[in-house]
Amino acid sequence: MTDSAVEELLAESRVVICCGSGGVGKTTIAAVLALEGARRGRNTCVVTIDPAKRLADALGLEALSDTPSAIDRERWDDSGTATAGGSISALMLDTKSTFDKLVTGNAETDDQAQRILDNRFYRNVSGALGGTQEYMAMEKLHELHEHGNFDLIVVDTPPTRHALDFLDAPRRLVRLLDNRIFRMLMMPTRAYLKVASVAVQTFLRTVAKVVGSEVIDDVVAFFRAFEGMEAGFRTRALAVEELLAAPDTAFVLVTSPRRDALEEAQFFAQQLEQGGQQIDALIVNRVHPMFGDEAPAGLRAAAAELRKGDDEGSRDEQAAERLAERYENLADFREVAEIEREHLRGVHERVGSASITYVPYLSRDVYDFAALHEIGGLLFDDSATAGSTITER
C-alpha cells in the first residue's frame, strides 16, 4: 500500500505550518498532525494559537504557556498501539511573553531591556494586536526549532485573511526600524527638527496633530531604547525566513468545502505564492458524506410518488409518508454532497497543491485524543486522497 500524501508529507518534514481562514478546523488539524507524528515515533510539538476550551484541556493546556509541556503517553496512546519513542508536547502561544523574551535576549544591557519593556508604545504593540501575534508565532517556531529538541513542529497560525501577515511578520519590525522617519526620530532630542527637511518637519507636525504629540514622544523613546538592537532583529528575521523556505518545512492549507471558504483558500494560496511559498497539501475539512450514488432528482421523484397515494387504498399511508420523508432527507444530503464535490473539482490545482485530502464531517464534535486519532486515520488513509473518493462515486 502506498503512503497517503499527508503521511508522506509528515514523514519528510521537520516543520509543518497549518494555515487557512478562521473556522475551518485548523487548530484541530494541527493537533491531529502532531498526534500522528508522535504515534509514528517522532518527538513532536504543536504550537496552538487559540484552541477551543475542550481541545486545550485534552492537550493539557490550562492557560497560556510559553514553554512546551509533554503530554503523558497514556493520555494520547491509551491502547499502547503507537510506535515507541514518540512524544507530543503542546504550548499555547503567549504573544506578550514571547516578545518580552525576544527583547530581553537581544538587549545589550538589563537596563536597555527594562526601558523597552516599560515603554508605553511597546506595551501597545506587544499585546495581541496588529500582526504581533503572527510575528510571535514565527518567533516561537524559530526558538523551538533551534533549541527545542523536537524533530517535528506543527504550527497553527492565527486566523488571518492575509497569508503574508505571518510570512512577512518578522520583516515588519525591521522595515519599521529602517523607515527614514523613524531613523530621524532616533537622533538626539529634537535634533531631527534641525536636520530634517521642511517637508519632513511638516509631515511630523501633521502626524503629531492627528495622533497627539504624546504618541510621537513614546515612539521616539521606544526607538531610542532600541538603538544597537536592530542588527539582532535583522539577523533573526532572516533566520525565520530561511526556516520558512527550507525544504523540510511544509505548508498545509486547511479549508472547508463551502464556496466562501474555498474562495478564501484560493486567495490565501495566491498570497503565499507571492511570498515565494507553495502549498504542499490541501486538506478539505468537514466534507459531507456521500450516502450512496443516487441522483437527488430521482430520490425526490420517489418521495413525490409515495405521497401521491395509491388507487387501491391497500397500503399503509403513514409508512408511505415516513418513507417519503426519508427520500427527501437523502436527496437533501446527496445534493449538498454533489455540489461540494463539484466545487472541489480541480481546486487543488487552483491552489497549486500537489495533493488534496478530504476529512468527512463527523457527526460529533472533536475534543479528545480518540477523536483526533479517528481523523488521523481518515487523513492517512490513502483512499481518502484525490482521485479516489472524489471521482469514483
Q: What minimum distance in Å lies between the beta carbon of 3 and other proteins? A: 30
C-alpha grid cell for residue 41?
Answer: 515515533
Nearer to other proteins, 5 or 324 (CB): 324
Q: Name the CA radius of gyration of the chain, rounded.
A: 27
Using CA atoms, how far apart are residues 348 and 356, in angstroms rounded to an integer?
6
Nearer to other proteins, 255 or 353 (CB): 255
Q: What minimum distance in Å lies between the beta carbon of 152 and other proteins? A: 25
Q: What minimum distance in Å lies between the beta carbon of 368 and other proteins? A: 12
Question: By the 8 A CB rule, do 280 and 248 touch?
Answer: no
Q: What minimum distance in Å lies between the beta carbon of 333 and other proteins? A: 5
Nearer to other proteins, 181 or 354 (CB): 181
In single-letter form, the type of residue at position 267 comes to F
Nearer to other proteins, 82 or 102 (CB): 102
Nearer to other proteins, 54 or 75 (CB): 54
Question: By the 8 A CB rule, do 253 and 282 touch?
Answer: yes
Nearer to other proteins, 73 or 343 (CB): 343
Q: What minimum distance in Å lies between the beta carbon of 22 and other proteins? A: 2
Nearer to other proteins, 4 or 95 (CB): 95
Q: What minimum distance in Å lies between the beta carbon of 319 and other proteins? A: 4
Nearer to other proteins, 109 or 363 (CB): 363
Region at 113 (left for phi over 0; alpha for psi -120 to 50; beta for the rest): alpha
The count of residues in the chain is: 393
Q: What minimum distance in Å lies between the beta carbon of 245 and other proteins? A: 25
| First CA to last CA distance, the chain | 21
Q: What minimum distance in Å lies between the beta carbon of 9 and other proteins? A: 24
Q: What minimum distance in Å lies between the beta carbon of 344 and other proteins? A: 10
Nearer to other proteins, 108 or 294 (CB): 294
